[in-house]
Amino acid sequence: MEQPSASGPGAGPSGAAAGLPGETVLSGQAGLRGQPGVSGQAGVPRPVGGSTAAVRTAEPVLRLTGLGWSVRGVPIVEDVSFTVGEGEFVAFIGPNGAGKTSLFNLISGIYPASHGTLELDGADITDLPVHARARRGIGRTFQTSSLWGGMTVAEHVRLAAQGAAGPAASYRFWRRADRYSAQVAETLERTDLGHRADTVANALSHGEKRKLELAVLLVAEPRLILLDEPMAGVSAEEVPALTELIRSVHRESGRTVLMVEHHMDVLLGLADRLAVMHHGTLLALDTPAAVMADPTVQQAYLGEAL
């Protein structure tokens, strides 16, 4: 499925998630429709929005109520309801085609909701377009790379900083180049890309490209970030550094993070809660330990250990 780009038309290569040695990778375990015991149970997530995981504020940052999206009458995401507290890290898993990316597209505004509502900080944003949601602090990355191959690392981040400042600030932006240079330099340091500032995107490794996508996202200072398979295409050697970067982005700034990821080893070390998508519905949402012990979830994965 082609994805719109956050920072320009996709120019970089994409790739499937690389399996790590000895790791459970859930991608490719599709084909669950019609499995005994699964049909009819999807759509009854347990428990949702009332997890035992720590939610740092009483008021949720994000609230989905019966959110759904259909294509020509075919439901892709159905009646999804949950809340996410400020500073929480929720990881989304599920077989290929379960609707994880579509749910992220609904939250970021790329797909319009067919039914249900979406609230950010208690305000209804269901009908707001993508750019308006971005201005309210929702940022996201995409499953496939969204970089301009011939542009340097620093140019990407500078352009993103300019975009975040808004069109009216363009003139000021160029006049106050020093301020933005400092902002770009700081963001590159935060994402461990300072030494690659003058390198074109095409010359970066997959892991560095993912870091650059994060830098492009972070320079806009979003408070809710959606990461769609940040490890896709990344070599096994680069996964630990990228995992630590995501951890620091979450912890140091107290951002709220939603992440789709197939590498269980990665997300188990990061997530406060695990959400399981299945046939477009939310099958379960709870602490990683509770989700992994859930018989319905295990059944949905054909009895394989999560």
The site for ligand ATP (CB under 6 A) is made up of 1, 71, 76, 94, 96-102, 143, 277
| E strands in 86-198 | 89-93, 115-120, 123-124, 138-140
* Contact status, residue 207 vs residue 234, Cβ threshold 8 Å: yes
Positive or negative CA dihedral for 206, 208, 211, 216? negative
Number of neighbouring beta carbons within 10 Å of residue 248 = 13
Nearest CB to ligand ATP, comparing residues 4 and 254:
4
Closest separation in Å from C-beta 137 to ligand ATP? 23
Distance CA(34)–CA(105), nearest Å, equals 26
Which amino acid is it at 211?
K
Axis-axis angle for helices 153-165, 206-218 (nearest 10): 20
Structure token pair of residue 148: 């301009």
Nearest CB to ligand ATP, comparing residues 98 and 120:
98
In angstroms, the first-to-last Cα distance of the chain is 26
